[in-house]
Structure 1
Amino acid sequence: MSIEYYDSVWDTIEETPEEALNMRLRSELMAKIAGRVQEWGITQNEAAHRLGITQPRLNDLLNGRINKFSLDALVNLTGPARFHLELAIEDEKEVAA
């Protein structure tokens, strides 16, 4: 039996590399936003209001219900969470070098 290694747990769960990348990005954004909410030290109702979402929606985010959030929805929360988000697209040839 050989042992396989993956860069991300999502690579083992998802069927395609594109799906794995989408899930990895979503999980990273969720973790950052959840961390920011914790830093605020305020109630979920106050944090939800700050983010412009409902308290049940915030609860889904804080409890890691990743399938309830699209990448687009999470990107839209980065502004109210006071994050600066940039997209870096690199040529695979340059990354491998």
Structure 2
Amino acid sequence: MNNEFECVWDAIEDTPEQAAKMRVRSSLMMKISDVVNSWDLPQTAAAKRLGITQPRLNELLRGRIQRFSLDALVEIAQSAHLHVELSVTLEETAA
């Protein structure tokens, strides 16, 4: 059986709801990582700018997604001066 998935999270999460949350979390983590890497600062200085510890920042930069709640990622994104906005649309298959 050949299953095609829109996103890796659809393939590995148990429910569509869990996959949706993971898509949002991973998107935030990638954007935060991009911004932090653009600062060209040592991790300790970047972590201080974000209001988190250096080990916590290291976990984020290494993609340890299970260690970050959506709320925590939104807070970190705000500290990185990222504008976080949620877009909600009706799925075509549900219409």
> TM-score, structure 2 length as denominator?
0.92
Runs (4 or more) in structure 1 with deviation over 2 Å come to none
Give the C-alpha shift of residue 90 in structure 1: 2.1
* Partner deviation per Cα, 1:65-85 (whole Å, 9 max, x = no partner): 000000110011111111111
Paired residue for 1:25? 24
| Corresponding residue pairs, total | 94
> TM-score, structure 1 length as denominator?
0.90
Q: Distance in 1 between matches of 2:33 and 2:87?
A: 23
Structure 2: gaps of 5 or more residues: none
Paired residue for 2:5? 6
Matches within 5 A, 1:19-58: 19-58=18-57
Q: Distance in 2 between matches of 1:32 and 1:39?
A: 11
SS across alignment from 2:79: coil
Identity %: 53
Q: What is the Cα-based RMSD across aligned positions, in Å? A: 1.3
Paired residue for 1:73? 72
Structure 1: gaps of 5 or more residues: none
